[in-house]
């Protein structure tokens, strides 16, 4: 069964960093791009960036450039997303998602989401 399983919920203080992991299973990890999105409470979805697990190339949304770091570990089929200098507006559910092997950059498999709460 193809799936992405994310790490558990986090509570962080403003100014801290958070690292969320996303472990792939049931498919060839290096064959599919992984993207990260987030969803603030009651809000829509916001794209953060993408990583190519095969070669490690990365593209970030300009909004998060300088604050976000994405990485991958091919030995464990896991991608990571670290967000630094957290503020209350970063409180959201963070999702990783896979792009299928077709031209359309859409997301066919999603992680279950990781709630990150930023609060003093």
Partner 1 sequence: AIQLTQSPSSLSASVGDRVTITCRASQGISSALAWYQQKPGKAPKLLIYDASSLESGVPSRFSGSGSGTDFTLTISSLQPEDFASYYCQQFNFYPLTFGGGTKIEIK
**Cα(7)–Cα(34) distance, integer angstroms:** 15
Site for partner 1 in 37-96 (CB under 8 A): 37, 44-47, 59, 61-63, 95
C-alpha pair distances (Å), 17 with each of 34, 68, 90, 118, 119: 21, 10, 11, 10, 12
Q: Residues 34, 81, 97, 116: which binds partner 1 (CB under 8 A)? A: 97
Contact segment (CB under 8 A) with partner 1 among 7-15, 16-24, 78-86, 108-116 equals 108-116
**Nearest-angstrom CA–CA distance, 34 and 51:** 5
Q: Per rule CB under 8 A, is residue 35 in the interface with partner 1? A: yes
Distance, in Å, from the CA atom of 5 to the CA atom of 113, rounded to the nearest integer, reads: 8
Binding piece for partner 1, criterion CB under 8 A, among 7-15, 18-26, 80-88, 110-118? 110-118
Site size for partner 1 (CB under 8 A): 22
User: At which residue do the structure tokens 């203080």 appear?
Assistant: 13
Question: Which residues are near partner 1 by CB under 8 A?
Answer: 35, 37, 44-47, 59, 61-63, 95, 97, 102, 104-108, 110-113
């Amino acid at each position: 069964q193809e799936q992405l399983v994310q790490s558990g919920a986090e509570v962080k203080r403003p100014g801290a960093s958070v690292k969320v992991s996303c472990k792939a299973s049931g498919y060839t990890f290096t064959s599919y791009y992984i993207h990260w999105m987030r969803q603030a409470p009651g809000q829509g979805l916001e794209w953060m960036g993408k990583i190519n697990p095969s070669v490690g190339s990365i593209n970030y949304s300009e909004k998060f450039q300088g604050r976000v770091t994405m990485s991958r570990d091919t030995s464990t089929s896991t991608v990571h997303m670290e967000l630094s200098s957290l503020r209350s507006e970063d409180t959201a559910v963070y999702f990783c998602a896979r792009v299928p092997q077709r031209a359309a950059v859409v997301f066919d498999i999603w992680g279950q989401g990781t709630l990150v709460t930023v609060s003093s």
